[in-house]
Amino acid sequence: MTDRKTLIEQNIIRIRERMAVAAEVVGRNPNDVRLIAVSKNFPVSDLEEAYRCGQVSFGENRVQELQEKWRGSAHLDIEIDWHFVGMLQRNKVRFIIGKVSLIHSVGSIRLIRTIERLAAQEDIVQDVLLQVNISGEETKQGFDPEQVEDALLQCCECPHVRVRGFMTMAPHYEDPEKARPVFSQLRELRDKLIFHRIAPDLSELSMGMTNDFEVAIEEGATMIRIGSAIFGDRYT
């Protein structure tokens, strides 16, 4: 039976190989795509094993779990780059400000203003991604595409919030090719906003998960969010 250390190491190697192939297919540098290991429901010991394999960036979906792992990893000889990738309630923002390098899931003006207020209190600038609901699913959070320009303009009034780009989630398809239009539309939206100089820096596109990350990379993803393909089936 494969132990956890070997399993995680082998999985990370496989994912990085697939990332490189997907990037090279479209003439991209594989180093321009960052792997965010989503460690929801996995112990700190698994994060430590992944870190020893060269994985530095980790994403969490839940505020409480991020807090616990942030504290649990503090005594270890590792320096984790924490990302928050789940739905974020305004009353939970204060628990992650200053602990995460990037919030991927900012999907409302009210949330932006809460982050601005709390980041100002800490005298920091919080990097964020605006979540865009490209697919239009009612179950998905985020701005509608036509709301994004106004959201960016309002962010200009928030000196403690820095928008680095966008995040989206495609519907889960058995055939990942069906997710391609979602990813291409987000890239095209980003490119249009850059062309019209709506925001100074929209370099990041967080899109693609275990079942569709290769298509996302082909369409311009700079970050992919991978959980089960690294850590295996989640603990319950």
pLDDT tens column, 70-107: 988 887 878 899 999 999 999 999 999 999 999 999 99
The pLDDT value given to residue 163: 97
For residues 5-18, give the mean pLDDT. Answer: 96
User: Distance (Å, rounded) from C-alpha 166 to C-alpha 27?
Assistant: 22
pLDDT tens track for 182-197 = 999 999 999 999 999 9
236 falls within a domain: no
**Does residue 104 belong to any structural domain of this protein?**
yes
CATH number, domain containing residue 171:
3.20.20.10
Q: Which pLDDT band, with edges at 50, 70 and 90, does 236 fall under? A: very low
Is the pLDDT score of 56 beyond 80? yes
For residue 136, the enclosing domain spans 4-231
**With bands split at pLDDT 50, 70 and 90, how would you rate the model's confidence at 23?**
very high
Structural domain contains residue 73: yes
Instruction: Name the band, by pLDDT with cuts 50, 70 and 90, for residue 62.
Output: very high
- Total domains, the chain: 1
d(CA 80, CA 52): 11
User: Which of residues 5 and 31 earns the better pLDDT score?
Assistant: 31
Question: Quick check: is 55 in a domain?
Answer: yes
Q: What is the pTM of this model?
A: 0.95
